[in-house]
Amino acid sequence: MGNFGIGELILILFMVVFFSLIYVIPAWRILKKAGYNPAWSLLVMVPLANIIGLYVFAFTRWPIEDHSAKAS
């Protein structure tokens, strides 16, 4: 165990890129539109941090809400 061949390494690289496209890019766009720093979207790749981040994001006041309240 522990010996990876080139096929396994290519598969791991493909999976990392695939999951980045599936999860990180949409999270990046959503956080940017909500007024947060989009770099926080990288937390979706970290187990448990992604769940905690989702709940924090869902139940805190968004910066864009503060901006729109000042404009009114």
Greater confidence (67 vs 58) lies with: 58
Q: Which residue has the higher pLDDT, 64 or 68?
A: 64
Residue % of the chain over a pLDDT of 70: 90
Cα(28)–Cα(30) distance, integer angstroms = 6
Average pLDDT over residues 46-70: 85
Closest to 56 (Cα-Cα) out of 44, 69, 67 = 44
Q: What is the pLDDT of residue 48?
A: 94
